[in-house]
Structure formats: C-alpha cells, structure tokens
C-alpha cells in the first residue's frame, strides 16, 4: 500500500515487511563496531535520540557543527560498510517513486526510547540534494511530523510502524520534519542519504 504525502514523497506501508528481522540483526552487528551514542548539538544540547552510522559517510554533530565524516570520531575507524541488504532495500524503495539509481553513501541509524524525540528540522548537510532520502522504521511505532518547506507551515502528523518505508525526493526533499516523543518501547530508524556529490 502506497500513501502519497506530496510531490515526490510517499509512505510504502510495510514495504520492509519480510526483511525486518534481518535488518534488526544487522543493526546490532553495526552497533558492535560503531556503538550508539548521544551526540551534542552545536548549541550544547545532548540529543535524546542515540545515533550511529554505516556507509562511506556518517552524519555527526558536535559543538563545531553538523557534518558528514568518513571516520567515526568515537572509534577512530571507518564507519561499518553499508550492508547489501540495506543498500538494495533503499534502492528498490526509491525506484518505486521513480528515483532510479539511488546509491546511498550514508545510513544514519537512530534509536529512540520512551521520551526521545527529534525536533523539527531540514536535512541540508548533503551535497546531493537532487537525490531522495529513504527512511525505514523498525520496532515501536512513532508519530512523524511533516511540515512545509518553510518553518511555521502547518505540520501533519503521520503514524509510522514497523516495516514502513518512506521516500522523500523532489519538491519534498527540503521539507521540515521531526518525530514526536516516543510513548513506549524502542524504535530504530534507518535514514539513507546521498551525502557526497
């Protein structure tokens, strides 16, 4: 089932369905090499969401700013490689919306526990904004917040459950979005991006 959210954006409900278990096992393996950690924002706040990455590029935040790094600053080693299971799921989902040839070089893995949230923001640290973003929800359901391209536009609330995949490209690539505080349980989100040019 596909729910169109806007131009270039849609929820592919349950699209990861039969791959959920393998995806979660793979996340656990990645976290053994590059553990989940709570990053600090440039403003000095500790993020409630715990993060790690896989792929050639990893998204990081610290007092100096937001950026992509080839090396995990926590371990001093490259981020774990992007598993083929991850890359193929992202490529197939993007193609469903007509974004053929999506080759993500970064997968940010977010872990939410009760109370964790992501305030409204744009993803603008990527050098290839013409590429879409693909997100995969695993574990506990969450309320996704989806606004407009300008802050202050009306925000829609969308419930995302396990196995749901969302593709955001084209005119929807720069919309403000976030995640409401998780009620209970644990949620993992995979966010696939093209970070380099």
- The three-class DSSP label of residue 109 is strand
In the complex, minimum distance from the CB of residue 76 to ligand MD3, in angstroms, rounded to a whole number:
23
| Least distance (Å) between residue 34 CB and ligand MD3 | 16
Q: Which of 17, 63, 177, 170 is nearest to 110 (CA)?
A: 177
Helical residues (DSSP H) of 41-110, grouped into ranges? 84-96
Question: 99 in helix, strand or coil?
Answer: coil
**Closer by beta carbon to Fe ion, 61 or else 78:** 61
Q: What does 189 bind: Fe ion, ligand MD3, none (CB cut-off 5 to 8 Å by kind)?
A: ligand MD3
Q: Which parts of this chain interact with ligand MD3 (CB under 6 A)?
A: 108, 110, 118, 123, 133, 135, 166, 168, 172-173, 175, 177, 179, 189, 191
125 is in an annotated binding site: no
Give the tokens for residue 19: 């791959």
Q: Taking the complex as a whole, how short is the minimal distance between the CB of residue 158 and ligand MD3, in angstroms?
A: 10
Instruction: Tell me if 123 is assigned to a ligand binding site.
Output: yes
Rounded to a whole number, what is the largest CA-CA distance in the chain?
42
**Which one-letter DSSP state was computed for residue 71?**
B
Nearer to ligand MD3, 12 or 76 (CB): 12
Q: How far apart are CA 182 and CA 91, in angstroms?
A: 28
Comparison of 30 and 118: residue with beta carbon closer to ligand MD3: 118
Q: Which residues participate in the annotated binding site for Fe cation? A: 121, 123, 177
């Amino acid at each position: 089932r596909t729910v169109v959210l806007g131009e270039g954006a849609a929820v592919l409900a349950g699209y990861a369905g039969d791959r959920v278990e393998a995806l979660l096992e793979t996340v656990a393996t990645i976290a053994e090499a590059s553990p989940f950690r709570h990053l600090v924002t440039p403003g000095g706040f500790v993020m409630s969401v715990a993060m790690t990455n896989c792929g050639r590029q990893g998204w990081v935040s610290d007092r100096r700013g937001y950026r992509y790094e080839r090396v995990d600053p926590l371990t001093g080693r490259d981020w774990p490689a992007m598993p083929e299971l991850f890359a193929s799921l992202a490529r197939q989902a993007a193609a469903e919306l007509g974004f053929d040839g999506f080759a993500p070089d970064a997968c940010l893995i977010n872990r939410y526990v009760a109370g964790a949230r992501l305030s409204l923001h744009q993803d603008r640290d990527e050098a290839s904004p013409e590429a879409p973003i693909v997100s995969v929800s695993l574990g506990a359901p969450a309320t996704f917040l989806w606004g407009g391209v300008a802050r202050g536009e009306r925000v829609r609330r969308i419930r995302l459950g396990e196995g749901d995949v969302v593709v955001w490209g084209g005119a929807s690539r720069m919309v403000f979005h976030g995640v409401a505080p998780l009620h209970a349980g644990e949620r993992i989100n995979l966010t696939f991006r093209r970070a380099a040019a």
